[in-house]
Amino acid sequence: MTMRVYQQRLTLLRQVLKEQGLDGILVSCPENRRYLSGFSATDSHLNESSGFLLIGQDAAFLLTDFRYREWAQAEAPGFSVQIYGQGMAKLLVELVRQLGVGRLGFEAPFLTYGTYQKISQEAEAAGLQIEWRPLENVVEQLRAVKDQEEISLIRRSLAITERVLAQVGATLRAGLTEGEVAWRLEQALREAGAEGPSFPPMVAAGKNAARPHHHPGERRLQTGEPIIIDMGAVYQGYCSDMTRTFYLGEPDVRFKEIYAIVRRAQLAAEAGIRAGMMTHEADGLARQVIVAAGYGEAFGHSLGHGVGLAVHEHPSLSPVQERAVTLQAGMITTVEPGIYLPDWGGVRLEDMVLIQPEGAQLLNRDRTFYQFD
């Protein structure tokens, strides 16, 4: 990304701050920090941050510690890098005072109570009044609409995932454990040029496939049961996410029936999603197919989610109308309907699409996976 990209992002953010009557924003979400500044460090734990951004109308600071100084300066030339020697809270309070920030927005889902308390105590000791304003999805809304460079990075990330899933998918056989397959996927992702997996690959065989999220374990693959593999790559910071359902041996009637319903639901959504549509309407395109087939109760999660610097990001294609947002051109989301039946297993199919005014463009290229179509 060029300097200009980051400057444009800051300009957009400052407009939002103005509209919301805020003097500044404290950014603590690692993906938002990277999106706005270019500083690519990640956080290993919620309570171990590699840095914070403090952005006002005329200033942009990146607060970090000594270990990250050179890295931050190299990657975030648009920011003034400030090193905290006596704790982040002390430095932040000093900078807030310098900027004359009264109303300070913070990212409610990404600032721990402990950090908030430390800052408040420092502010009090310094006799500074900070009017805290909790924010949600402010930078995330900017991130949701991708530019051309981001779209091409996500395409490459997905291409790696497709190649790896095809390669490892061809080696599936009865007797391998879920964990062994997950490790093959992880290894192949690295060898194919990914920085790593976008989340630990999920391999769920047989009854385990009835759990939408499952931790691959000692269970061995067997013939005559569904195997769900959900995985993704990270390429230059950008994630991909994809699920396919495999079956060893000749599929039985029940599997074929359930697979066909899920695939029909997915195709209905991919054909109908477009910019201007509400997220719950997008979800409904697939959900109505599954409900009509009598499996509504067995599709208990949202149709999809945004994908970008984070594998799960804004917007959520949730069925809940109260949380609905309008889909915009340039958003990239997954389309992942599923049917899960305890004591049997499940089928989930997950593609990625680029939302456009006239429809959704499918980003997946490898069609060979649909062996049951």
Closest distance to Zn ion from the beta carbon of 332 (Å): 12
Whichever of 23 and 241 has its CB closer to Zn ion, that residue is 241
Which residue stretch of 18-26, 160-168, 227-235, 258-266 sits at the interface with Zn ion (rule: CB under 5 A)?
227-235
Closest distance to Zn ion from the beta carbon of 240 (Å): 9
First to last CA, the chain: 40
Q: How far apart are CA 226 and CA 248, in angstroms?
A: 8
Closest distance to Zn ion from the beta carbon of 241 (Å): 4
Question: Rule CB under 5 A: is residue 230 a binding residue for Zn ion?
Answer: yes
Whichever of 62 and 355 has its CB closer to Zn ion, that residue is 355
**Cβ–Cβ < 8 Å for 318, 332:** no
Q: How far apart are CA 138 and CA 4, in angstroms?
A: 20
Q: How far apart are CA 228 and CA 346, in angstroms?
A: 7
Residue 159: which H helix or E strand, with range?
A: helix 148-169
Question: Rule CB under 5 A: is residue 23 a binding residue for Zn ion?
Answer: no
Residues in 62-81 that interact with Zn ion by CB under 5 A:
none
Closest distance to Zn ion from the beta carbon of 107 (Å): 22
Question: Rule CB under 5 A: is residue 157 a binding residue for Zn ion?
Answer: no
Whichever of 28 and 243 has its CB closer to Zn ion, that residue is 243
Peptide bond into 200 cis (omega under 30): no
Question: Rule CB under 5 A: is residue 351 a binding residue for Zn ion?
Answer: no
Which residue stretch of 73-81, 114-122, 294-302, 342-350 sits at the interface with Zn ion (rule: CB under 5 A)?
342-350
Q: How far apart are CA 273 and CA 271, in angstroms?
A: 6
Whichever of 51 and 232 has its CB closer to Zn ion, that residue is 232
Question: Rule CB under 5 A: is residue 186 a binding residue for Zn ion?
Answer: no
**Total number of residues shown for the chain:** 373
Which residue stretch of 52-60, 120-128, 333-341, 361-369 sits at the interface with Zn ion (rule: CB under 5 A)?
333-341
Residues in 232-271 that interact with Zn ion by CB under 5 A:
241, 243
Question: Rule CB under 5 A: is residue 334 a binding residue for Zn ion?
Answer: yes
**Cβ–Cβ < 8 Å for 244, 367:** no
Write the burial class of residue 294 (CB in 10 Å: 0-12 exposed, 13-18 middle, 19+ buried). Answer: exposed
Which residue stretch of 86-94, 147-155, 158-166, 328-336 sits at the interface with Zn ion (rule: CB under 5 A)?
328-336
Query: Across-strand partners of 348?
Result: 338
Closest distance to Zn ion from the beta carbon of 258 (Å): 18
Q: Between β-strands 80-83 and 60-64, what pairing exists: parallel, antiparallel or unpaired?
A: parallel
Contacts for 2 with CB less than 8 Å, ≥ 6 apart: none
Contacts with Zn ion by CB under 5 A lie at: 230, 241, 243, 334, 350
